[in-house]
Amino acid sequence: MKTDLKGVYSALLTGFSDDEALDETRQRNIVEYNLRQGLAGLYVGGSTGESGLMQTDELALQQAIVADACAGSDTKLIAHVGQAALRDSILLAQNAERLGYDALSALPPHSYKFTSGEIFHYYKALAASTDLPLIVYEVPGRIGRESSVDELSAILDLPGVAGIKFSSLNLFVLSQLRKRHPNKIIYFGSDETFMTGALSGADGGIGSTYNVFGKLYAALDEAMTQGDMEQARDLQAISRDYVEVLFRLGVMPGIKLSLQHLGVDCGPCRAPFRVLSDDAIPDLHAFLDDPKIQKWTA
């Protein structure tokens, strides 16, 4: 188990067969491409991996496939285990611990409009269910509101909670969490504004587009660490341009189309995901084929 969890992590995609079953070969293809990009690690079973469309037993199997594919590497593994029911989250957490994962993470419970107290006790129970460090999650779009600094701070003070994935654009809250919890890990979750998260105190990032441009985000993280703002701005501009194309296609379908274009057999998304505009596909291919962009793909 690795103890230093800081850095940039790909929010790993899931490989599905043409009939949308979990496909081990395609999952390994995705992992192999990610391992070539110089990332700190992989965030397995999260929203980018379409976990909301998967069953608990499928997610447990995915954890095992990824752990085996990464065996012998220095890649750190964070298992996202946030299910609708706490009991399923705990089952996935304990499975990840048996498989040798380095940490856990979980969306807050979001199938109903849970209170802040219910979210607090969900994380308290999950953190106590294993000896792995837990990365909690601020994602206003999933619970329908922003959490306050005090609410998030109370969760970060729980035993076993090592940090937070911060997927909000309220950077004042992020900066206050950094001030109150200097020893906790803060991952920023907005790929296209990575720089602003780093400037506000984030220790790294977890992102969807890292599946394609992990090399770029590793370089962007290094540029921010070294204070090379010119390099960081140039890399962030590429990130924004890519995200702009993805919004026309749909983010997850667009990322999978990107990998297919780069020669990675990763399979489709599960329904109801679909490509939003076929007209945007030539623009995606033109973007990926630009020599200035190709240097950042693996």
Active-site annotation, residues: 137, 165
**Residues in Cβ contact with 56 at an 8 Å cutoff, skipping those fewer than 6 apart:** 83, 88, 91, 92
CA distances from 269 to 17, 54, 97 (A): 9, 11, 28
Helix (H) or strand (E) holding 45: none
* Short-list 129, 178, 108, CA closest to 149: 178
CB 130 within 8 A of CB 103: no
Q: Given the structure tokens 């706490």, which residue do they identify?
A: 86
Count of residues in the chain = 298
Tell me how far apart the alpha carbons of residues 91 and 231 are, in angstroms, rounded to a whole number: 43
Q: Count CB neighbours of 107 within 10 A.
A: 24
**Residues in Cβ contact with 8 at an 8 Å cutoff, skipping those fewer than 6 apart:** 39, 40, 204, 205, 206, 207, 210, 214, 217, 218, 221
Tell me how far apart the alpha carbons of residues 255 and 247 are, in angstroms, rounded to a whole number: 10
